[in-house]
Amino acid sequence: MDSILVTGNGPLNGQIPIAGAKNACLTLMPATLLSEEPLTLTNAPRLSDIKTMTALLQSLGAEVSSLQDGQVLAMSSHDLTSQTADYEIVRKMRASNLVLGPLLARFGKAVVSLPGGCAIGARPMDLHIEGLEALGAEIELKDGYLHAKAPGGLKGAVHEMRFASVGATENIVMAATLAKGTTVLKNAAREPEIVDLVECLRKMGAQISGEGTSTIEIQGVDRLHGATHQVVTDRIELGTYMLAPAMCGGEVELLGGRMSLVESFAAKLDAAGVHVEETLNGLKVARKNGRVNAVDVVTEPFPGFPTDLQAQMMALMCTAEGTSVLEERIFENRFMHAPELVRMGANIEVHGGTATVTGVERLKGAPVMATDLRASVSLILAGMAAEGETTVSRVYHLDRGYEHVVRKLEGVGAKIERIKDQ
């Protein structure tokens, strides 16, 4: 397996372009299943997860072409040959479950394997199932597959989710676009990726209102048509690279960044002593003076602090002045990066869903192992701010969520290289 070698190299300066959002693109791609007409996505990120979703859609009979060096995805589902999402593909990525709602809405049936992805908690499918059953679906779990059917078609309903799940919101909204009547989804997730999905569905002819709030209303239509849509900026990649100058010093401009995507995160950086300002081209980030200050973090659904930036924020807090407490409320088992940071000299104590980090003056390079997608990039950031060399192994996780990491960080002065497996 490849590894990444990082050497602490002082302040960073320059610009980093931010890609389209992985989590948005993985949601937008299954939307092609809702229509016989073509759906084209621009500003698509070039990631292994996108290839996995491409393979899944193609296994159903959809046509997917990657154009302009992978930044444009041209899709068509005019002649699907299957409504079964096979385990061998679905196990690789959690977002594969997002074909369930569209297949059920358009064809009245779907068979979808229970999903896989990063090992950061159970993330069950019950909220998806409850929402689709509220629309009239009949769903049974057999041999690791969800067998769903709606012989008379889906019907609009009022449904309140027990938790504001992003994936369940996306699945239910897509399914409801072709349901008969009106669906009102309460306690809906509010993430920018959901707003982006709704904007795309609206271009396809869906009648939806309330996106970005906790109540989304969908008036079902008979059919959806084709569209072209630009994928929203990746707020997690944006936040990750905002932390690079915060940890290493210097000043970096994140091209394509928008404050509205990362307001709660930027507020924490400001409290820690990191300056963030909007520019004509994005966001500019610089550490104010010396070591950052310790700040407490609680992960919450949007617009709260994102769980997908918790690991990276912990890396920053490892060298902060004082003690910080990070509480993980979204996923269990999401502190697997902590022992690896401790190998680099960090002072971290984990008790259940809470990590207490007492800052040290400087981390020291060490061999470390990535355990999941966000953990992998947190270790790279830590290595950039550490004394000496850090080797991060098992970086195949990284390729699922960050395109051209080495090139982007080298471009602002980091000393980093990818070591190919012999």
Side-chain-side CA neighbours of 44 within 13 Å: the count stands at 31
23 annotated as a binding-site residue = yes
CA distance 380 to 7: 10
The dihedral region occupied by 7, where left means phi > 0, alpha psi between -120 and 50, and beta the remainder, is: beta
162 annotated as a binding-site residue = no
222 annotated as a binding-site residue = no
Q: Which of 118, 200, 248, 318 is catalytic?
A: 118
CA distance 168 to 184: 14
CA distance 169 to 192: 12
291 annotated as a binding-site residue = no
Q: Is 118 a catalytic residue?
A: yes
CA distance 392 to 389: 10
CA distance 101 to 33: 9
CA distance 250 to 412: 9
Tell me which residue of 404, 410, 407, 406 sits closest to 45, measured CA to CA.
404
284 annotated as a binding-site residue = no
126 annotated as a binding-site residue = yes
362 annotated as a binding-site residue = no
CA distance 233 to 19: 6
399 annotated as a binding-site residue = no
Residues taking part in catalysis:
118
Binding residues for phosphoenolpyruvate: 22-23
Binding residues: 22-23, 94, 123-127, 308, 330
Binding residues for UDP-N-acetyl-alpha-D-glucosamine: 94, 123-127, 308, 330
